[in-house]
Amino acid sequence: MMNITPTVKQLLIMNVLFYVGSMIVGEPAYKLLSMYFFESPDFHFWQIFTHMFMHAPLPNIMHIAFNMFALYSFGSALEHFWGGKKFVFFYISCGLGAALLHTGVNYYFFENGINTLVANGYQKVEILKVLSEGKFDTRWQEVLTASDFQSFMGAYLGNVVGASGAIYGLLVAFAFMFPNAELALMFIPIPVKAKYFVPVLLLIDLYLGVSGGSLFGGSSGIAHFAHLGGALVGFLMMWYWKKTQFNSNRWN
């Protein structure tokens, strides 16, 4: 088993400190440090960074457990070859990419809901006023479909936490560098090569993100498009680095 590398160790410590601190402080910590929709009064610019060090509160311990295990497993292998500076740049970039795509998708759902309501006689100013108070008008449900209403409300009132977007970037990078590495998973009895596992995982996330469901029915509460955003940035960075590794744009 590969020893934990310095930057990965520091990231693990930061995530654990954020987690323990948020458990002690409670809701105010999540209000301040998780990421809200940019039109929400609860949004602050630092949340695009801090949200990736926050995780779901107890009893959802598996959220941080899985992310930290993946950070250790894949991150240590990547930092071993890249070094700390390149690794942390890649990690944070993927986390920001996750936030960007997640916000973009939420903006689409929010604007779709707003436009539908305005087309049916509601005033945008009044809609935003009600939403800013953390409320909604039950009459909106007569105009919007159930799925559109859920997406509209979730886009504005929901918040996002977790390192998963950055972790997905690490998964893509690992598959780029070690495509034939076999990954042993608890729910699959045989090892699966990274070059097969990662694309299938992304396709599942894409399907669940578009359908708005989960593998076990109902709403999962998982930010699938954040996963895909981190993976996309990871792919683009790996593609660029591979393409330019022998010219003056190489990262040293």
Smallest CA-to-CA distance from 3 within 99, 63, 75 is with 75
- 191 φ, ψ (degrees, to nearest 5): -65, 145
Model confidence pLDDT, tens digit, residues 93-142: 999 999 999 999 999 999 999 999 999 999 999 999 999 998 999 999 99
Report whether 190 contacts 73 (CB < 8 A). no
**24 domain-assigned:** yes
Containing domain of residue 237, as a range? 6-241
Note the pLDDT of residue 248: 52
Lowest mean pLDDT, pick from 113-127, 156-170, 181-195? 181-195
As a whole number of angstroms, the distance between CA 74 and CA 79 comes to 9
**33 domain-assigned:** yes
As a whole number of angstroms, the distance between CA 156 and CA 158 comes to 6
Q: Where are the alpha helices (DSSP H) in 40-186?
A: 47-50, 61-70, 76-82, 84-119, 124-132, 140-143, 146-157, 164-177
**248 domain-assigned:** no
Confidence of residue 143 (pLDDT cuts 50, 70, 90): very high
Q: For position 194, which CATH number holds? A: 1.20.1540.10
**64 domain-assigned:** yes
**251 domain-assigned:** no
Note the pLDDT of residue 251: 46
Model confidence pLDDT, tens digit, residues 196-208: 999 999 999 999 9
Confidence of residue 216 (pLDDT cuts 50, 70, 90): very low
**152 domain-assigned:** yes
Note the pLDDT of residue 242: 86
**175 domain-assigned:** yes
When pLDDT is averaged across residues 213-237 and rounded to a whole number, the result is 79
**247 domain-assigned:** no
How many separate domains does the chain show?
A: 1
